Structures are given as structure tokens and as C-alpha cells.
Amino acid sequence: MSQKLTVLYCRTSTSMQSTGLEAQERALIEYCRIKGITNYKIFKDEGVSGSKASRPSLDAMMELVRANRVSSVIVYSFSRFARSTRHLLDALEEFRSRNVAFTSMSENIQTDSAIGLALFTIISAISQLERELVSERVKNGLKNAKAKGRKLGRPKKRNSDLILELHTQGMSHRKIAKLAKCSTWSVFEELKSRLESKTA
């Protein structure tokens, strides 16, 4: 089996930043020289916005990671690598699950160090707290709307009275759906909700 690679990643937002890309590349190569890393491959996205979900070189790099051919990922900075905090955390989680070390030069963070791992844990906890706060706000908003008598969800488009009338005539769900101009599932849901309201 071939030796696993160290992959280096750098990016610029516009093609006019070519010198910036060269500077990032030089810094990454120098970092490898100092650390004695020789088996590396460079991935560069030039003139690609960081907000884009798909970046050709980053995608190619992640394919190598997922093929278990990478031992570590070194990036110039978080901002050059991740498009958002969520993207960064997802990537770090994937690297950790595949036993791939991650280093950001500018922030001087290494996930295979005690401090780097602690920072990752803190960032993950903050992100989880943020998700829980958003979820709590949504739940409170729904409760408030319900308390004020507002109907939640999409408005019902089926003709309830017609469905019930046709059902009392002994028609099949399919025929009722055709005449009421709705799906058979809507017919089933309407009859089910009426039955539940009677037994409640």
C-alpha cells in the first residue's frame, strides 16, 4: 500500500490575487520544509469565492481524504479553507473520524495537539449551543403563534365537505380523490382526522 500523503490547500477569491496564491503556496511549502514533510501534494483554487459550496481543487482534495490516502491536511488559514463555521466543523469532524490531522498555519492550530483538540471541542460546543438556541426560538415562536390561535403549517386545500359527502355515498378513496381534485392521501388524511376528532 502506498504511503499516505500530506495535502496542502490554498485559495484566492479572484484571479487578480495570483500573488496572494503564490505567497500562500510558498508559506505552505516552507512549513513542510521546516517540519521535514516531503511527501505532499498541493491543491489550489484560484479566483474561487470562499462562499461557493463546490471548489474544484478542494473537492479533489476531499476525494483523496475519503479514499483514505491522506494522513494530514495543512491549510494557509481557516478563511482560505472553510466557507462557514459549520463547514469547518463538518470538515474537522470528518478528518477526525478518518484519523487525518488538520493544521491551519495562520491560526497556529493543530488538531493532533492537546491545545488544538481543546479548541476544536470548544468551537463544537459553541456551534451546538447556537443550534439549540435557534431550535428553542423556533419552538417558542410556534407556541406563541398557537396560543394566539394562529393555524400552523400550510393551509389545507382539500374540500373537506365534499370528501365526507362522497365518502358517505360509499365511494372508493381513488374515486373521491378524482372528484374532489386532490390526492388519495389527502382523502385518507381527511377521513382519518375526522375519525380522530369524533373519538377524541
Same domain flag for 95 and 185: no
What gap in Å lies between CA 44 and CA 94, rounded to an integer? 21
Q: Is residue 130 part of a domain?
A: no
Answer with the one of 115, 145, 168 that is the final residue of a domain.
115
Asked whether residue 96 falls in the same domain as residue 164, the answer is no
- The tens digit of pLDDT for each residue in 145-191 reads 777 776 655 556 678 888 888 888 888 888 888 888 888 888 888 88
Final residue in a domain of this structure, among 115, 149, 183: 115
* Residue range 13-31, pLDDT digits in tens: 765 555 588 899 999 999 9
Indicate the burial class of 123 (C-beta count within 10 angstroms; 0-12, 13-18, 19 or more).
middle
Confidence of residue 67 (pLDDT cuts 50, 70, 90): very high
Q: Which of 84, 115, 146 is the last residue of a domain?
A: 115
Instruction: Answer yes or no: do 23 and 76 share one domain.
Output: yes
Higher-confidence position of 37 and 152: 37
pTM: 0.58
Query: Which is the catalytic residue, given 2, 13, 135, 160?
Result: 13
Query: For the chain, what is the domain count?
Result: 2
Inside any domain, residue 153 = no
138 part of a folded domain:
no
Q: What letters, b where the CB count within 10 A reaches 16 and e where it falls short, cover 165-188?
A: ebbeeebebeebbeebebeeebbe
pLDDT at 185: 83
Q: List the CATH number of the domain containing 54.
A: 3.40.50.1390
Task: For residue range 90-105, list pLDDT tens digits in order.
Answer: 888 889 889 999 999 8
72 is catalytic: no
Structural domain boundaries, residue 186: 160-199
